Structure 1
Amino acid sequence: MGVSGSLPAVFVGLDVGKSDHHAVALGVDGKALLDRALPNDEARLRAILAGLAEHGPVLMVVDQPATIGALPVAVAQAMEGVEVAYLPGLAMRRIADLHPGAAKTNARDALIIAEAARTMPHTLRQIRADEEQIAALALLAGFDDDLAQEATAVSNRLRGLLTQIHPALERALGPRVAHPAVADLLTRYPTPARLASAGRGQVRARLKKHAPRLADRLAQEVFTALGEQTVTVPGTDAAGVVIPILAEQLAALTRQRGQIAAQVEALVEAHPLHGVLTSLPGVGVRTAARILTEVVGKDFKDAAHLASYAGIAPVTRRSGTSIRGEHAPRGGNKRLKRALFLSAFASLSHPPSRAYYDRKRAQGKRHNQALIALARRRCDVLFAMLRDGTLYQPPTTAAA
C-alpha cells in the first residue's frame, strides 16, 4: 500500500479521541519520528502531516475511520503525499497481544497501530476517498436504529400501562399501538372511561382520520373490549395523564423515522448497487442501507469470510472425541447480523427461501436456527451478487 505508487517512508499510527488524538510516526527502520498528543484541529493536523511528508510518502493509519476519526481521515485525504488506511478493531486487539505489557494507553495504542502499518500491511484496510455517500448512510442508519430503540421502549411502556388498567383494551389496541390512528386515539381518549363516554361514532370518526379502512373494525374491537371489564383499576386516573404523553412521543418517533427513511431511501437509490441489493428477496431500503455501510468497501475473500464477519457462520466446537457440534457465534458485526437475519425472515414469502427454511425445520432445527441457516445460505448469494454486480436470479428447479 503506497502513495501514488510509492512505498511509504513514514508510518503514522493515530489513536483517535474525542478532543485529542495521539500520534506515533515511525520511519522504515522503525525509528520514532513523532510521539505526541494532537488536538482534533484541522490546522494542527495539516502542519504535523506536512512536516512528516518531508521525510517521504506518508501512510497514516487510524483505528476508527468514522465518527471521531472522520476529521483526521478527511485532512489526510485532502493532502498530497499522504495516504490513509484503517486497522480493524479485532486485528488491533490481536496485534496488541503480541506486544509486551498490558497497559492500555493512547500512546501504546498509537505505537501498535504504527508498527502494524510498518510490519504487517496486510492487516490494513483501505479508505476510499468517495465515501461521503456511505458516511451519510451510516449516520442516518445509526440514528434510525436509535429512534427504533426509543420507539420500542415507549411502545412497551404504553402497552404495559394499558395492560395494567384494562387488559382487554390492550389486546385490541396493543398490536397496533404504533399506528398513527391508535396513537392519536389514545392522545384524545387515554382511559377506558373517556373512550366509553366519547361513543362509538366519535371514536370511529377519530380513527378514520388516519386509518379509513381500519376504522370500523377497530372501533368495533375497542367497544367489544370495553364491555369485557366493568371495574376501574386503581391508578387508572394517573395512567390517563401518562398515556397521552407516551402516545404523542410514539407518534413523534414514528414521524421522525419516516423522515429519516425518506433520506435513506434517496441515498440508497442513488448508489450504483441499489438495483443489485434490492433485487434479492427480503432486502428493503433499510437492509440495503445497512449492507452498504457494513459491507461495501471492505475486502472479503469469499462468502465464508463475509458470513464470519456478519456472525452468521456456525462455529465448530470440538474437544478430542467427547465434545462435538456447532453453535451460533456470539461475535461478528451485530448490526449486519441483525439486518441479514431480518432479511431472511422477510424472504419467507419467497418460495425458494421458504423451501430451504422448511427443510431445515424438518431436520429438527428451531425457528431461529433455521433462519440463521437461511441467512447463511443467502450470504453466499449476496456475496456473488456484490462480487459480480449482477441482479438476483431465482434458482432453477435442479439447482434448488
Structure 2
Amino acid sequence: MHVIKNHTEVEVFLGVDVGKGEHHAVALNREGAKLYDKALPNDETKIQTVIDKLTVHGTVLFVVDQPATIGALPVAVAQAAGVTVGYLPGLAMRRIADLHPGEAKTDARDAAIIAEAARTMPHTLRSIEVADEQDPELSMLYGFDDDLAKQVTATSNRLRGLLTQIHPGLERVLGPRLDHPAVLDLIRTWPTPAKLRTAGRRRVATRLKKLAPRMYDRLAGEIFTALEAQTVVVVGTNAAAVVLPQLAGMLADLRASRDTLHTQVEALVEAHPLHQVLSSIPAVGIRTEARILTEVVGKDFATAGHLASYAGLSPVTWRSGSSIRGDHSSRRGNKILKRALFLSAFAALKDPLSRAYYDRKRTQGKKHNQALIALARRRCDVIYAMLRDGTLYETKTPAAA
C-alpha cells in the first residue's frame, strides 16, 4: 500500500527531517552520492530554492517524516512545485534507524536515513497526494476535537473527584449526570451542600426545571435525600466552593465548543463527494464518516486486507513451538480509525445482517469484543469495496447473505 508509483524514474531522493524553526535536508542521487546536506529554514522561498537546485539533477522525490503540522509547509511547497511527495511513517523510521551504525539522534542523521530509505526501500513509503481542501480542514477540526475531548474528560474527573471528597452521596447523584447542562448550571449556582440546603428543595427544583423539565422533580428529590445522609462538613469544602463552579463553567464551555465543531464537521462531511456512499452504510454517522475521510481517503491500499491491517483489525497469529498458539487482535495500526470502526460495529448490531454475523461469531465461541472486532473487520472490507467502486451499500437479508 502507499507505493510511490514513479520510483524508478526518480533521480534525486530528498529526505527532510522536519522541525519547528528549521528542517534538515539530505539529498542523494540514485547511486547514493550526497548532493545536499544542510539545515533548511521553514520558509517557502528557501524550500523552493533547494527544490529548484536539485531538479537540475533530475526528477526529485521529496520525503518527510511528518506530513502534517510542522511538516505541512514543506509538503505544500513541494506539491505546488509538481514534485512527488512521500511520507516515511515513524515506526518504519525507527526500525530503519536501528540498521544504521551509531546511536546519535541528530536532525542530519535522521534526514540521511529518510533519504536512504527513499532510495533503497520505496515499499516503506506512503505517497502523499494533493489533498482536497475539505480533507485538511476535517483533519484540523477533528484534531482540535480530540484535544477538547481530553480536556472534557480531565475536567469532569476533577469535578467528580472534588464532589467525592466533600460529599460522596451528592457525587453519586450528580457525577453520572455531568453531561446534562442542568446539573452544571446547578453546581455553578450552589456548589456546596450547605448552599444547596440554604436554597431549599423548591428553589433547586425550579432551577432544574428550566433545563431539565422531565427529570427536575426526581433529581431534586435525589439531591436532598443525599444531603440528609451526611451532616458533617468535610475539611476543604470552603475551597471546593471556589473551584467547583469554575470547573462546571469550564466543562460547559468545552461541551459548547465541541458542539460548535460538530456543526462545522457535519457541514464539511455532507458536502464531501463521498458522503452519499459512506452514509448508506448502516451505523456510519457523521463522526465515523469524518474519521474514514481523514484516515482512509487519499491513501492507496492495494487490497481490503491492507486497509484492515492499517486499521489494526487484522488478526495476528502467534506460534512458538507447541506452547503458544492462536490468533490475537493486533495492537498496532491506526488506533483512531480502529476505534471509530469498532464503535460503528457496536452500533451496527441493530442492523439484522450485522447482528446475524455477530451472533454467528458468538456461537463459534468468540467473546463479545472478539465478535465485534470480527464484525468491524468485515465492515472494513465493505467500506474498501464501496470506496474503490464508488457504489452505495446494498441491503440484504441475513438468509440471502
TM-score by length of 2: 0.91
Shift of 1:172: 2.1
1:188 aligns with: 189
Question: Number of paired residues?
Answer: 398
Shift of 1:363: 4.3
**Structure 1: gaps (5+ residues):** none
Once the two structures are superposed, the pairs formed by residues 4-83 of structure 1 within 5 Å of their partners are 7-80=9-82, 82-83=83-84
> CA distance change for structure 1 residues 285 and 49 in 2, over 3 Å: closer, same or farther?
same
2:389 aligns with: 388
Identity of aligned residues (%): 69
Shift of 1:186: 0.6
Tell whether the 8 Å contact from 1:165 to 1:232 is kept in structure 2 after alignment: yes
Q: Helix, strand or coil: the match of 1:318?
A: strand
Q: Helix, strand or coil: the match of 2:35?
A: strand
Q: Distance in 1 between matches of 2:348 and 2:224?
A: 37
Tell whether the 8 Å contact from 1:310 to 1:332 is kept in structure 2 after alignment: yes
Q: Distance in 2 between matches of 1:122 and 1:67?
A: 24
> CA distance change for structure 1 residues 135 and 366 in 2, over 3 Å: closer, same or farther?
same
Shift of 1:318: 0.5
Shift of 1:39: 0.9
Once the two structures are superposed, the pairs formed by residues 110-259 of structure 1 within 5 Å of their partners are 110-259=111-260
Aligned-residue CA RMSD (Å) = 2.3
1:284 aligns with: 285
Is the deviation greater in 8-17 or in 86-95?
A: 86-95
Tell whether the 8 Å contact from 2:353 to 2:397 is kept in structure 1 after alignment: no
> CA distance change for structure 1 residues 160 and 316 in 2, over 3 Å: closer, same or farther?
same
Q: Helix, strand or coil: the match of 1:22?
A: strand
Q: Distance in 2 between matches of 1:395 and 1:159?
A: 46
Is the deviation greater in 129-138 or in 289-298?
A: 129-138
> CA distance change for structure 1 residues 356 and 180 in 2, over 3 Å: closer, same or farther?
same
1:371 aligns with: 372
Q: Distance in 2 between matches of 1:103 and 1:26?
A: 21
Amino acid in the other structure paired with 1:388: D
Tell whether the 8 Å contact from 1:24 to 1:107 is kept in structure 2 after alignment: yes
Q: Distance in 1 between matches of 2:226 and 2:210?
A: 22
Tell whether the 8 Å contact from 2:305 to 2:314 is kept in structure 1 after alignment: yes
Q: Helix, strand or coil: the match of 2:26?
A: strand
2:314 aligns with: 313
> CA distance change for structure 1 residues 2 and 285 in 2, over 3 Å: closer, same or farther?
closer
Tell whether the 8 Å contact from 1:2 to 1:59 is kept in structure 2 after alignment: no
Amino acid in the other structure paired with 1:198: A
Q: Distance in 1 between matches of 2:276 and 2:213?
A: 34
Shift of 1:287: 1.9
Q: Distance in 1 between matches of 2:392 and 2:174?
A: 41
Amino acid in the other structure paired with 2:322: T
1:261 aligns with: 262
- Could you report, residue by residue, the CA deviation over 1:143-195 in whole angstroms, capped at 9, with x for unpaired residues? 11111111111111212222233333222222111211111111001122222
Shift of 1:34: 0.6
Shift of 1:285: 1.8
> CA distance change for structure 1 residues 11 and 373 in 2, over 3 Å: closer, same or farther?
same
Q: Helix, strand or coil: the match of 2:57?
A: coil
Q: Distance in 2 between matches of 1:360 and 1:226?
A: 48
Q: Distance in 1 between matches of 2:232 and 2:241?
A: 16
Q: Distance in 2 between matches of 1:224 and 1:377?
A: 50
1:337 aligns with: 338
Q: Distance in 1 between matches of 2:386 and 2:55?
A: 40
Q: Distance in 2 between matches of 1:6 and 1:384?
A: 29
1:294 aligns with: 295
> CA distance change for structure 1 residues 366 and 196 in 2, over 3 Å: closer, same or farther?
farther
Q: Helix, strand or coil: the match of 1:209?
A: helix
Q: Helix, strand or coil: the match of 1:325?
A: strand
Tell whether the 8 Å contact from 1:61 to 1:87 is kept in structure 2 after alignment: yes
> CA distance change for structure 1 residues 229 and 367 in 2, over 3 Å: closer, same or farther?
farther
- Could you report, residue by residue, the CA deviation over 1:275-327 in whole angstroms, capped at 9, with x for unpaired residues? 22232233222222122111111122222222221122221110122221122
Shift of 1:384: 1.9
> CA distance change for structure 1 residues 161 and 270 in 2, over 3 Å: closer, same or farther?
same
Tell whether the 8 Å contact from 1:24 to 1:32 is kept in structure 2 after alignment: yes
> CA distance change for structure 1 residues 397 and 341 in 2, over 3 Å: closer, same or farther?
closer
Amino acid in the other structure paired with 1:244: P
Amino acid in the other structure paired with 2:256: R
Tell whether the 8 Å contact from 1:341 to 1:372 is kept in structure 2 after alignment: yes
Tell whether the 8 Å contact from 1:311 to 1:331 is kept in structure 2 after alignment: yes
Tell whether the 8 Å contact from 2:352 to 2:397 is kept in structure 1 after alignment: no
Q: Distance in 1 between matches of 2:210 and 2:392?
A: 41
Is the deviation greater in 146-155 or in 160-169?
A: 160-169
Q: Helix, strand or coil: the match of 1:49?
A: helix
Is the deviation greater in 383-392 or in 63-72?
A: 383-392
Q: Distance in 2 between matches of 1:321 and 1:305?
A: 29
Tell whether the 8 Å contact from 2:131 to 2:298 is kept in structure 1 after alignment: no
Runs of 4+ off more than 6 Å: none
Tell whether the 8 Å contact from 1:6 to 1:57 is kept in structure 2 after alignment: no
Q: Distance in 2 between matches of 1:251 and 1:52?
A: 53
Q: Distance in 1 between matches of 2:8 and 2:133?
A: 26
